[in-house]
Amino acid sequence: MRFISLDQAARGVDRLTRDLLPVMVVMGGRAGSPDLLNYYVGITADHVGMGVPLELGQTEGLRTPKTLIFAALLLVVAMIGPARADKRVALVIGNSAYQHAPTLANPKNDAIDMAATLKQLKFTVIDGLDLDRPAMERKLREFARALAASDAGLLFYAGHGLQVDGQNYLVPVDAKLDDAAALDFELVRLDLVQRTMERETRTNLLFLDACRDNPLARNLARALGTRSASIGRGLANVEAGGGTLISFSTQPGNVAFDGNGRNSPFAGAVLKYMAEPNVDVAAMLIKVRQNRQVPWEHSALTEAFYFNQSTQAGPASPGKQGMQLSEAAEAWSMTRETTNVALLEAFAARFKDTFYADLAHARIAELKQQQIAASTPLSTAAPNESATSQVHAFARPKDLASPAALTEKSPPTYKVRFDTSKGPFVVEVHRDWAPNGADRFYNLVRNGFYDETRFFRVISGFMVQFGINGDPAISGPWRSATIKDDPAKQSNKRGTITFASAGPDSRTSQVFINFADNSQLDHHGYSPFGQVTSGMGVVDALYSGYGEGAPSGRGPEQGRIQREGNAYLKKDFPNLDYVNKATIEK
């Protein structure tokens, strides 16, 4: 190792402050371990163009004010982490009093007892009993905000749940499930809750006592008719992300039962063993499985987790591999959104023996592909494509794949002209209806995001949905670029345009236009931000022959659109109509 000059060190401080420290602050500053600090110091050296790591001890011989700044910055980095230690937040929900199904005996009691136990174990607890859909969404939003300042998150849900086409849903007490639209507007998707937790905290535990025999599922089966076979028993198998454990009250596809006493068999067993001192969650669940109802779990925890760890016993001592995985997960959470290839390469070298290095290499490949696409000349378009489509395909603004760069405030009102394969229509946007939605839509249209996008979900008498860019390198970054919800000031009447969502604060780029009066969407948080003012007949004529999307219908699968883009839609769904160009009218 060689020393670096003071000027190099100072430039490294500037680059580190600009590129890394803001990320660490946003992510909560989890940079406490010496190895992780070495990683950031090494990245600083890479940033100033030396390509060699700077060891911590090498700062000791530097005595100028610049050195003090550099050393102070390293101290700040090292000291940020402990502030978050041991902050644990739990969301506890118990739904018993269903309005359109028989009352469940145990969930309310299970939630009350679980909340009390977790409070004794020093969790911050957000709890709710007998929640309808809006109340569940409010609790989830409160939970998401609390997770942002936490070290670990826990969800305990007791009540009805169901699976449709392998997707798991939690059932609020006001759900009726008497039509197919109920999946979108009456239930809460479990994967949304899981993604929110995994985005905010490094350790997450989900306990789901929701596999009961569900009479509401029979209502849904009647509504789905020939597609009723897509409704499975109990809940479906779920893969846990890094740092997550998911525990079900019984095996996937099986139905659990309520207990004869105060608590269900699953909740009672968890409550019995949870508070035992110095027993990690994996060992606790072994004890839970020794009861008459056998639970199931999927774990991707990267370190031991204790509900009640005695200070006298000292901290757990995971092996070297476990420590490296934990550090890699921590570093990746602060690095994964960067567009700096050199930083990603340094990350991959530092954590080369973990699967996070593979994620870094995949991100590098994605960035390089974007660079190639940005530099591709217009003449590379296919011979049968028009000059207009060539411009759409290759002349996109360079920031279109960087959502954070596109946050301009929209005018109070503006009009957007959509030139489509069926003809033109115009949308007038009112910012006072939904400011966050109007601003996001303005930036997307202004930068060509909707050009060449397909109307991939067209449900006659209901709505038409679009807004997944045809280039996966463009659409990918927007999947996690969510905006805050706007209150619904206008009703979802015919011709209004609204952002699609998967739950609280989950809007990204997809929008829908209402074919009919869908005011039932209003109290679920769908807030219109504009209205079709001309060309509604064009909207009505958009091709609807494919119907609902896969897997519940014959239409496109959104996951494949995200992964494969327009190539998938052109090949398998050639009749879909599409946007040629969307422009802000002067």
The CATH number given to whatever domain includes residue 231 is 3.40.50.1460
Same domain, 153 and 247: yes
Q: Say whether both 31 and 60 belong to one domain.
A: yes
CA pair distance 120, 16, nearest whole angstrom: 41
Flag whether 11 is in a domain. Answer: yes
Contacts of 163 (CB under 8 A, 6+ apart): 169, 231, 232, 234, 235, 236
Identify which of 333, 323, 458, 452 has the alpha carbon closest to the alpha carbon of residue 394: 452
Q: Say how many domains are in the chain.
A: 3
Same domain, 330 and 292: no
Contact (Cβ atoms closer than 8 angstroms) between residue 480 and residue 530: no
Instruction: Answer yes or no: do 469 and 576 share one domain.
Output: yes
- Single residue among 299, 332, 355 that ends a domain in this structure: 299
Residue 527 maps to a domain: yes
Mean pLDDT confidence for 205-218: 70
Domain assignment of residue 315, yes or no? no
Tell me, yes or no, whether 269 lies in a domain: yes
Element at 530 (helix H, strand E): strand 528-534
Residue 247 and residue 175 share a domain: yes
More confident call, 276 vs 229: 276
Q: For the residues of 515-567, what is the DSSP string, one character each?
A: SS--GGGGGGT--EEEEEEE-HHHHHTS--TT-SBTTTSSB--HHHHHHHTHH
Judge if 265 and 159 occupy the same domain: yes
Whether 375 is in a domain gets the answer no
CATH of the domain at 500: 2.40.100.10
Q: What is the pLDDT of residues 266-302, one digit of tens each?
A: 888 899 889 888 888 988 888 887 765 667 778 888 8
CA 19 to chain centre: 24
Q: Quick one: 291 and 417 in the same domain?
A: no
Tell me: do 76 and 116 sit in the same domain. Answer: no
Domain that holds residue 514: 388-585
Cα–Cα separations (whole angstroms), residue 453 to 379, 389, 403, 446, 567 = 21, 11, 18, 15, 11
What is the rounded average pLDDT for all residues in the chain?
Answer: 74
* Euclidean distance between CA atoms 496 and 369, whole angstroms: 37
Dihedral of alpha carbons 346, 351, 352, 355, sign: negative
How far is it, in rounded angstroms, from Cα 323 to Cα 111?
A: 34
Tokens of 220: 């849904």
Domain identity same for 220 and 268: yes
409/348 same-domain check:
no
Residue 33 lies in a domain: yes
Which of 287, 320, 284, 289 lies closest to 302, judged by CA?
A: 320
- Tell me whether residue 1 is in a domain: no
Is the Cβ–Cβ distance between 453 and 419 less than 8 Å?
no
pTM of the prediction?
0.43
* pLDDT class of 179 with cuts at 50, 70, 90: confident
pLDDT of residue 49: 34
Residues 544/460, Cβ–Cβ less than 8 Å: yes
Report the percentage of the chain scoring pLDDT > 90.
Answer: 34
Last residue of some domain: 299, 334, 351?
Answer: 299
The length of the chain is 586
Range from 19-23, 214-218, 248-252 carrying the lowest mean pLDDT: 19-23
Structural tokens at position 304 = 């031991």
Higher pLDDT, 455 or 243: 455
One domain, residues 45 and 123: no
Of 318, 346, 343, 345, nearest to 203 by C-alpha is: 318
Q: Is residue 374 part of a domain?
A: no
Cα–Cα–Cα angle for 518, 184, 236, rounded to 5 degrees: 165
Residues 79 and 93 in one domain: no
